Structure 1
Amino acid sequence: MNRIVICGLSNRALGMFIQPIIQKFSETNEVVGLLDNDPRRIDICHERFPELTPVPSYNESQFQQMIEETNPTRVIVAGRDDTHITYILKGLQNDLTVVTEKPMVTTADDTRKVMAAEAASKGKVIVTFNYRYNPYHRKIKELILEGKIGRVTSVDLNWYIDTYHGASYFKRWNRKREHSGGLSIHKSSHHFDLVNWWIDQKPEEVFAYGALNYYGKDGELNPSPTNNRYCGTCEEQLDCAYYMRWHNRSNSSSGVKDDHIKDEGIEKSSKNYTNYRPDACIFDHEIDIEDTYVATVKYNKGAFLSYSVNFSVPFEGYRLAINGTKGRIETQEFDEPSRVPFPIPEQTIDYYPMFGSKEVIHVVKREGTHGGGDPILQEDLFLGMDPTRPYEILAGAEAGAYSIALGEGVWRSSKENQPVRIEELLGKTVVVD
């Protein structure tokens, strides 16, 4: 029986971990402790899962007490990004398996601490990179492993975050680098891990540019230079194009069309927090992160990555091309089709052999979020790894470290206007081949 304590009762913790533990995997998994520094979050958890009411709860200063009183075998870390490092290190000090949401931590310096702590512990770190489990992404991995395109030489990945999703990062705690590491870590670490895993190479060097083009005090669509506004109470709602894109005038005060602030959202409503509102103005002066990046990455086995991400686009998804010595793979995803204001094609994977006819691959999906990827990740976490799968997919601390170091490298390069060596960020704990 896995005895599990949850550190950080975020929406992700409730929906991705606690719910499946209770509803699907309770025969071999049990939640024995809850930790959050906001008592309201503990109340929300009890309201949603009354069966957890008898489970003891703790605040952030009581981690060791929780361990001693509940005797867990596993810690799940799912709070605000900058809190991850504390619970990962304490979990490893207690020789426990630590399952952490991405990003593993928010700085390359903290990745070194995690790697050193894991090396000295009987425990281990698992990073829940659920993008790996998307059926299209697994199929791409399989095509590469089958040798369909030969040795990978270059990857083109352009990621698009729409105004609905992109604006949400600038309403919430993510907008402060001290909390999220910036979006090159909080969001792009997902993308970097995916590429690292697909091509089985380690990033060596990155050169990048970054900018704040849409949000913050200088955003071109800012109705006025006023600071400290909130979407739910703002007097300039009708003048804000980002707000009105997802609201009707007749119900603008309820926020029913914007699930980043709607009342029924577990994480999105201010009533679900103490001294915190998740609907702060996307044009506030305190925003200190970028919303646009482009980067070129050199890998240790010869591949190059051309990457871009943009957090204010009319649609959500990505375009991908992977080139190799024997062919090319292409795909395009339009995520959240209900938010796309034009007809979109079904996603396929197009395989172009170097000499021969194009093949169009239709991927089999299953029920569940992220194209059915999340349920498979949950099975790996709570039932054990699928022994029939011919490749590794559940990520560890090293994968987490490379994704974060590359994300930090993107930010540092954009500020310093020079290439950044990943090895220098990771230090001697993780050595690039």
Structure 2
Amino acid sequence: MNRIVVCGLSNRALGMFITPVLTQYAHENKIVGLLDSDYRRMELAGESFPELSSIPFYEPQHVQQMINETNPDTVIVTSRDDTHIDYILKGLENDLTVITEKPMVTNANDARRVMEAEAQSKGKVIVAFNYRYNPFHRKIKELILEGKIGRVTSVDLNWYIDTYHGASYFKRWNRNRKFSGGLSIHKSTHHFDLVNWWIDQVPEEVFAYGALNYYGKDGELNPSPADGRYCSTCEEKLNCGYYSRWSNRRNSISVKDDHIKGDSIEKSSQNYTGYRPDSCIFDHEIDIEDTYAVTVRYDKGAFLSYSVNFSLPYEGYRLAINGTKGRIETTEYHEPSRIPFPYPEQTIDYYPLFGSKETIHVVQNAGGHGGGDPVLQEDLFLGIDPTRPYPILAGAEAGAYSIAVGEGVWRSSRDNRPYRIKDLLKEISHSS
């Protein structure tokens, strides 16, 4: 029996980890301890899952006491990003398996600390990069492994975040770099890890431009220069395009989202103590970027051209991977309930360098993140699928490289110069 403690009772903790452990994987796994800085979150967890009410609850300063008293095998880290480092290091200090949500940590220095701690521990770190498990992403990996496009030479990846999802980051703690590392880390580590994994190359250098174009005090759609507003009480919200697009005059329009409930953006203050998740997206305290254009150079010669924008009419991405023998293309439109126009079904197009185009219709499965979450959960709570012919579960090194690229992005955009990944990570070794 795998004994689990959970550090951070976020929505992600409840939906991605606690629910499957209690329902699908209870024969192999047992939750023995819960930790959060807010007792209200514990109450809500107990309301959602009455079986959790009898499980001991601890505050962050008592994490070692929790480990001593509950004797876990695994620590799941789903707290605010900047606190991940504390729980990961404590888990490794006690020789435990640590499963952490992305990003593993919020800066390259802490990523190096995790790598060093893991090297001295009998435990290990697993980073829950669920995007790897999406059926389309697995198929792309398989095509590359089959040699369909030869040696990868360049990747074009353009990621689009719509006005609903994008604005949500600027209402919450993510909008402060000290908590999230900025969106080039909190969000884009998903994307950088995907590319690193697809092409099996190590990022060496990054150069980027970044800007705060839509949100913050200078946002062009800000109804007024007032500061300190909240959506639930704001007298100007009907003049705010970001609010009006997803709300009527009395209530929020119900929208499904993996990260924040569409009917509770303005109402969920009751779910926290002393925290408001409906802060104004035009507040002066916002200190992160919402737009990036990035170039990354890899150790085997590939180049990545990446961009991300957090205020667009629809959500999804466009991808092209070029190699010495051909090219792979795909376009995804995400969250259908938020797209106000017809759009094509996602397929993968394969273009051999000399020959006919092939269109691949991928077999899909249900579940969050395009069907990636359930497959990842199986690997986490049943063990790695022995029939899969390639590695997919991410470790600390993968987390470190994705974070170093993300930190290099915002530092490069600030300093107008390239950053070498090894300088940010202080020469970690590459083993896989």
1:373 aligns to 2:372 (yes or no): yes
CA contact (8 A) 1:262 1:269 kept: no
- Partner of residue 351, structure 1: 350
* Structure 1 residues 384-423: aligned runs within 5 Å: 384-423=383-422
Q: Which amino acid aligns with 1:396?
A: G
- Partner of residue 173, structure 1: 173
CA contact (8 A) 1:159 1:309 kept: yes
Task: Tell me how far 1:428 sits from its aligned partner.
Answer: 2.6
Q: Which amino acid aligns with 1:179?
A: F
Task: Tell me how far 1:184 sits from its aligned partner.
Answer: 0.3
> Any idea what the Cα deviations from partners look like across 1:389-422, whole Å, max 9, x if unmatched?
0000000000000000000001111011011000
Query: 2-side partners of 1:235 and 1:111: how far apart?
Result: 43
- Partner of residue 43, structure 1: 43
Q: Which amino acid aligns with 1:388?
A: T
1:87 aligns to 2:87 (yes or no): yes
Task: Tell me how far 1:208 sits from its aligned partner.
Answer: 0.3
Task: Tell me how far 1:429 sits from its aligned partner.
Answer: 2.9
CA contact (8 A) 1:25 1:382 kept: yes
Query: 2-side partners of 1:369 and 1:111: how far apart?
Result: 27
- Partner of residue 271, structure 1: 270
SS of the residue 1:401 aligns to: helix
Task: Tell me how far 1:255 sits from its aligned partner.
Answer: 5.9
CA contact (8 A) 2:328 2:350 kept: yes
> Any idea what the Cα deviations from partners look like across 1:60-89, whole Å, max 9, x if unmatched?
000010001000000000010001000000
Task: Tell me how far 1:338 sits from its aligned partner.
Answer: 1.4
Task: Tell me how far 1:431 sits from its aligned partner.
Answer: 5.3
Query: 2-side partners of 1:207 and 1:150: how far apart?
Result: 26
* Structure 1 residues 301-340: aligned runs within 5 Å: 301-340=300-339
Describe the shift of the 1:179–1:64 C-alpha distance in structure 2 as closer, same or farther (beyond 3 A). Answer: same
- Partner of residue 22, structure 2: 22
Task: Tell me how far 1:263 sits from its aligned partner.
Answer: 5.4
> Any idea what the Cα deviations from partners look like across 1:358-405, whole Å, max 9, x if unmatched?
000000011111221110000000000000000000000000000000
Describe the shift of the 1:101–1:268 C-alpha distance in structure 2 as closer, same or farther (beyond 3 A). Answer: farther
Q: Which amino acid aligns with 2:244?
A: M
Q: Which amino acid aligns with 1:7?
A: C
- Partner of residue 233, structure 1: 233
- Partner of residue 427, structure 2: 428
CA contact (8 A) 1:202 1:432 kept: no
Count of paired positions: 430
Query: 1-side partners of 2:369 and 2:400: how far apart?
Result: 23
Query: 2-side partners of 1:432 and 1:281: how far apart?
Result: 44
CA contact (8 A) 1:352 1:358 kept: yes
Describe the shift of the 1:264–1:411 C-alpha distance in structure 2 as closer, same or farther (beyond 3 A). Answer: closer
> Any idea what the Cα deviations from partners look like across 1:272-296, whole Å, max 9, x if unmatched?
0000010000000000000000011
TM-score (norm 1): 0.97
CA contact (8 A) 1:247 1:257 kept: no
SS of the residue 1:53 aligns to: helix
Query: 2-side partners of 1:385 and 1:233: how far apart?
Result: 48
Structure 2 segments unaligned to the other structure (5+ residues): none
> Any idea what the Cα deviations from partners look like across 1:20-61, whole Å, max 9, x if unmatched?
000000001000000001000000110000011110000000
- Partner of residue 8, structure 1: 8
Query: 2-side partners of 1:268 and 1:395: how far apart?
Result: 36
1:198 aligns to 2:198 (yes or no): yes
- Taking only the aligned residue pairs, the percentage that are identical comes to 75
Q: Which amino acid aligns with 2:400?
A: A
SS of the residue 1:282 aligns to: coil
SS of the residue 2:116 aligns to: helix
CA contact (8 A) 2:209 2:413 kept: yes
CA contact (8 A) 2:255 2:338 kept: no
SS of the residue 1:322 aligns to: strand
- Partner of residue 75, structure 1: 75
- Partner of residue 100, structure 1: 100
CA contact (8 A) 2:255 2:263 kept: no
Query: 1-side partners of 2:403 and 2:289: how far apart?
Result: 16
Query: 2-side partners of 1:325 and 1:429: how far apart?
Result: 30
Task: Tell me how far 1:248 sits from its aligned partner.
Answer: 1.6
Q: Which amino acid aligns with 2:310?
A: F
Query: 2-side partners of 1:271 and 1:139: how far apart?
Result: 42
> Any idea what the Cα deviations from partners look like across 1:84-106, whole Å, max 9, x if unmatched?
00000000000000000000000
Please identify runs of 4+ aligned residues in structure 1 that moved more than 6 A: none
SS of the residue 1:245 aligns to: helix
Query: 2-side partners of 1:171 and 1:224: how far apart?
Result: 17
- Partner of residue 280, structure 2: 281
SS of the residue 2:30 aligns to: strand
Query: 2-side partners of 1:37 and 1:262: how far apart?
Result: 25
SS of the residue 2:342 aligns to: coil
Structure 1 segments unaligned to the other structure (5+ residues): none
1:213 aligns to 2:248 (yes or no): no
Query: 2-side partners of 1:184 and 1:122: how far apart?
Result: 31
Query: 1-side partners of 2:300 and 2:423: how far apart?
Result: 18
